[in-house]
Structure formats: structure tokens, C-alpha cells
Amino acid sequence: MLGLMQDWPLLCHRIIDHAAKFHGSRRVVSRSVEGPIVETNYAAIRARALKVAQRLEKDGIRLGDRVATMAWNTARHLEAWYGILGIGAVYHTVNPRLFAEQIVWIVNHAEDRMMMVDLTFVRLLESIADKLPSIERYVVLTDSAHMPQTRLRNAVAYEEWIGEVDGDFAWKQFDENTAAGMCYTSGTTGNPKGVLYSHRSNVLHAFMAALPDCKGLSSRDVVMPVVPLFHANGWSLAFSTPLVGASMVMPGAKMDGASIYEMLNTYKVTFTAAVPTVWLMLLQDLEKTGQKLPYLKRVVIGGSACPRAMTKTFQDVYGVEVIHAWGMTEMSPLGSLCTMKPEYAQLSGEAKLDIQQKQGHPPFGVDMKITDDHGKELPWDGKTFGRLKVRGPAVARSYYKVADDPVFEEDGWFDTGDVATIDPYGYMQITDRSKDVIKSGGEWISSIDLENLAVGHPKVAEAAVIGVSHPKWAERPLLVVVLKKGESATKEELIDFMRGKVAKWWLPDDVVFVDEIPHTATGKIQKLALRQRFRDYRWPTAEAAE
């Protein structure tokens, strides 16, 4: 027997309909790419998104067509997303920080028909446009006054383009499993892989993301998505924020500490989210200026491990609660968040920080387990680590145009490629990427644990640990360090600092000081490049590890 409830497909544009109808005048502020800070609201965003939809249709864009965006976080980018998905086309966020050849590869693989682009990236695209035959038209996200001379195919200024329609248009209706968005993972090895979100997965994920033990969003919040919309589905903020009717503050192209601070403070932002690198810049800036964060209540930090010192500074110096989070492009992207269950809620000081080093527990909608290499489930004792596997309605089941990738296992689990522990209360902690874990004498050493320890040293700006082959132990950890400006340190000093905090056999056998550590386009340490750089490295003595 079927239930007797209404058939109400979970379509993403219903979110902006809801925001426009019940929170229509809620402020959405953007630092525009042209410069000035501009204000709008959900009612206006919906009205303009409808124009985008109508105009796309006039240009022949149809159900299932991919429309790329290469843009910063602004209200225009947001309304473009809703306009594209509102006719059943697919927003495809392209990360402008990728190498040009990767962008070419991704756009061709996705066969994007149109590209919406910020002024910042017009020159970049001009340099590769010859290699992007599928793109029929470039819409530059600006008005005619700021429109540059460009040889991009059929280029038009966005305001002029949507000005050609009246907005008297209705969203298209279709199955909730229809594709809505697309994002490629950066693919540190091999080619990037396309993840294709559906309307249903995005809507379910947005509900999940807003929950109290996730981002805990409400209409009383002022949310600033600092994480770009082109990173991992914008961490759902383009959906979960209007879903609850919270106000939105978009930082545009300026991500430096002072600019972020200006937006946080002027618009009384209560909630924000980004990778650790962004917060490092902000905290360094605040330390210099002595400014405080009186309005900010919560910050979600993820994408890579949040250093303990960062959590401590946010909480103890600025009174901002840190929510450490883990996720992946393949998971829409949220997987787990470190909010306090009753078992841990009474903790404070260092004991609380110990828990906050973990990536947290999954919300409803994400199932999780750890296994050994043969697929056997491992215990949740907080110590045993194994391959982290997940499943759920917002987890990918396949990559775009890739048949049978082994990470999608036959029994429906997705092998994340991360290595993790799970504690008795269900808190997961990432110890490594499976390809970065250091295998020493048959045992595993977590490079992330060692990196976290090393960056806790007051002279260390950034640290990476890689496994380097060793005649006796197969691999041993090598610590690569960037010191803070003007500091000097000895190898012994750093190793001594780590001594006693991890098992003796985990201690790095050597330390090398470098000026810079390579990063991926999403700000993560590029272990592969580091490993290549130290390919010919020789341990000071072959007995170093003994």
C-alpha cells in the first residue's frame, strides 16, 4: 500500500521559492567584482534567477545541458545557479585556480555549452578559448558599463543578456533525480573526476546541512560562505542558507584577512565556513590589528585538518565556536561535523580540544564504517584505523562518464580514500589519505597527526610529512617544514618538541626546511609533488630509524 501524501518532487528551485516567499526581504550582500558592496534580497534573487532561466531557454539551453560558471561568491553567481538548474540544465562550477590544461580537460569532458564568467577570469579564458569548442557563448557577469573588449565567442554582459527578457516565466518541472549540478574533484592523481549532483541529493543534503548538529542554521543567522561555490558544491551553502531564510554575505573576489574582516564585522556575520588557509590569514591579520570578532558565533573549518592552535585561538581569544568538519566533493560534500554530543558536552580546555581534533560524527543521511584492506569491519575504539567508507542519498554512486570505478563498491559503499578511526561514540578522525599513510615496518604512521603536532611548534608556519623509502623499514617519515618569517630552528628542536606526544617509532627521522610547500588548487598540501621532489632524498644514516 502506498502512502497518501502529496507528490512533491525535491527540486532545488523550490528552495529559492521558499526563501523569496517567506523570507523575501532578507538581505543578501555581496562584494561585487567591480568593487562596490551591493545589496539585494531573496525576492529579487528569485526574480532575476527566473530571467536567467528564461534567457537560457531563449539561447537554446535545454534539460541536461551543462552551463559552466567560473565565478566568485556573489549574488549574481547564486542567481545564475538557480536560473540554470530551474530549467533542468546543470550548473558546472569550474575552479579557476586549476592549471589551464586541467580547465580545458574538464570543460571538454563536461561538454559545457555556455560559460558564465567573472571579469577576473576573462583573460584566462581568452588564452584557452580556442581549445573549448563546446562553448557556444560566454556571459560575462557584469553590466555593459564594465564589459571589457573581448574575443570570447558571442560574449555578452550578463545584465544586458538578462535584460532581454521580462522574467514572466515558470520553472520547469521534472523528476527529482534529474541532474542539477556538477563539480570535478581536483584529481591529485590521474584526470579529474566529475561528480553529478541531483536535485533530490542537493535538497536532502541541504536539510541535513542545516541541522543543529551540523551547521545549526536558522533565519536569525547571517551566513558568509567564504568557501567558494566552485569548491565541492560550495559546501551546500547556496542551498542550506536560503532554505532556512538566513541572511547571506558574499565576499566576492577578496579573500585576504582585512577584506574578510570588513565583511564579517560590517554585516554582523554570525556563521561562516572555509578551509584552514583562509582562517590563518584572518587570524594573522587580527593579531596585528588587535581587532575582535564580536558578532561571529560559529565557524565551520574543513577541507583539510583544522590545526589545534587555530581552534584554540578562535575559541579562547575570540569566543567563536569552531566546528571541525570533513567531507568530499563526492558527498555533496558534508560527511561529518564535530559538534558535542552529551557524552562530550561537559568537556572544556585541552580535553575539549582533543575531541575537536576529530572530524566528528555523521548526520542522518550519511552512513559510515571503517574496514581493513579485505573489507572486514574494524572496531570503533578510537585507535584502530582503516579505510573509511560511506553511503547515503547525497553520496555519489558513479563518476560522470566513467564506468566501474573501483571506489564504488558492489555493496553500495563508497571508499573515500581516507584512513580513519571511529571512537565508541561514533566520532571519526582522519589519520591520513590512504595513499599518504606511511607504512613503516608493516605498521601505519599517520602523516596528519605528525603534521598537526609540528604546526603546534611556535616557530613553524606549515609542515608536511611524507613517507620516504628506507632500506630497513620500507618507509620512514620525513618532516618538511616552512618556518615563520624571521625564525630559525634546528632539526633537533622540532623533533624534541614532538617527543613524548606520539609513539617513539612515529617520530620523523629527519627534518628538511623549505621556503614553500606546494598546494593543490583547493589549498591542500600536494603530497605527490612533495614526494617527487624528495624522490632522491637519502636518509642521513641508514640506521636513522633504529
Is 74 an active-site residue?
A: no
Is 506 an active-site residue?
A: no
Q: How far apart are alpha carbons 24 and 44 in whole angstroms?
A: 8
- Residue 202 · residue 394 · CB < 8 Å: yes
| Shortest Å, Cβ 428 to ligand ADP | 10
β-partners of residue 386 are 420
93-122 residues in contact with ligand ADP (CB under 6 A) are none
Of the candidates 19, 278, 305, 390, which one interacts with ligand ADP according to CB under 6 A?
305
Q: What cell does 274 get?
A: 572555509
The strand order across the sheet containing 414-422 reads: 367-371, 386-391, 414-422, 428-433
**Using the rule CB under 6 A, is 416 a contact of ligand ADP?**
yes
Contact characters 321-340, ligand ADP, x per CB under 6 A: ---xxxxxx---x-------
CB-nearer residue toward ligand ADP: 37 or 528: 528
DSSP string, 183-210: EEE--SSSS-EEEEEEHHHHHHHHHHHH
- Residue 502 CB coordination number (10 Å): 15
**Using the rule CB under 6 A, is 526 a contact of ligand ADP?**
no
**Using the rule CB under 6 A, is 524 a contact of ligand ADP?**
yes
Alpha-carbon torsion, ordered 56, 58, 64, 66, to 10 deg? -40
Of the candidates 302, 362, 365, 386, which one interacts with ligand ADP according to CB under 6 A?
302
> Does an H or E element contain 44, and which?
helix 42-58
Question: Pick the catalytic residue: 105, 444, 505, 539?
Answer: 444
**Using the rule CB under 6 A, is 186 a contact of ligand ADP?**
yes
Is 409 an active-site residue?
A: no
State residue 347 phi and psi, 5-degree precision: -70, 150
Residue 30 burial by Cβ neighbours in a 10 Å radius (0-12, 13-18, 19+): buried
Task: Please state, in angstroms and as integers, the Cα–Cα distance from residue 331 to each residue in 309, 382, 468, following that order.
Answer: 28, 23, 32
Angle between helices 13-22 and 237-244 (to 10 degrees): 30
Instruction: Please list, in sequence order, all residues whose beta carbon lies within 8 angstroms of the beta carbon of residue 367, skipping any fewer than 6 positions away.
Output: 390, 391, 392
| Shortest Å, Cβ 117 to ligand ADP | 21
Residue from 114, 121, 115 nearest 96 by CA: 121
CB-nearer residue toward ligand ADP: 32 or 429: 429
Number of residues that make up the chain: 546
473-512 residues in contact with ligand ADP (CB under 6 A) are none
| Shortest Å, Cβ 185 to ligand ADP | 4
> Does an H or E element contain 104, and which?
helix 100-110
Of the candidates 178, 339, 447, 522, which one interacts with ligand ADP according to CB under 6 A?
522
Q: How far apart are alpha carbons 83 and 58 in whole angstroms?
A: 13
Is 289 an active-site residue?
A: no
Q: Cell 574582516 appears where?
A: 261
3 state SS of 90: strand
Q: How far apart are alpha carbons 170 and 173 in whole angstroms?
A: 9
CB-nearer residue toward ligand ADP: 96 or 327: 327
Distance of CA 210 to the CA centre of its chain: 16
**Using the rule CB under 6 A, is 307 a contact of ligand ADP?**
no
Question: Pick the catalytic residue: 120, 185, 277, 313?
Answer: 185
- # residues near ligand ADP by CB under 6 A: 23
| Shortest Å, Cβ 476 to ligand ADP | 22
Of the candidates 172, 352, 391, 433, which one interacts with ligand ADP according to CB under 6 A?
433
- Residue 545 · residue 514 · CB < 8 Å: no
Question: Pick the catalytic residue: 21, 439, 484, 501?
Answer: 439
**Using the rule CB under 6 A, is 228 a contact of ligand ADP?**
no
Of the candidates 193, 464, 520, 530, which one interacts with ligand ADP according to CB under 6 A?
520
CA angle 453, 463, 288 (to 5 degrees): 90
| Shortest Å, Cβ 124 to ligand ADP | 19
CB-nearer residue toward ligand ADP: 88 or 302: 302
**Using the rule CB under 6 A, is 304 a contact of ligand ADP?**
yes
| Shortest Å, Cβ 526 to ligand ADP | 10
**Using the rule CB under 6 A, is 311 a contact of ligand ADP?**
no
Question: Pick the catalytic residue: 330, 413, 431, 524?
Answer: 330
Contact segment (CB under 6 A) with ligand ADP among 74-82, 255-263, 318-326, 533-541 equals 318-326
3 state SS of 22: helix
| Shortest Å, Cβ 149 to ligand ADP | 34
Of the candidates 120, 134, 185, 313, which one interacts with ligand ADP according to CB under 6 A?
185
CB-nearer residue toward ligand ADP: 91 or 326: 326
**Using the rule CB under 6 A, is 396 a contact of ligand ADP?**
no
The verdict on whether omega for the bond into residue 333 sits within 30 degrees of 0, i.e. cis, is yes
Active site residues: 185, 330, 439, 444
Task: List contacts with ligand ADP (CB under 6 A).
Answer: 185-186, 232, 302-305, 324-329, 333, 359, 416-418, 430, 433, 520, 522, 524
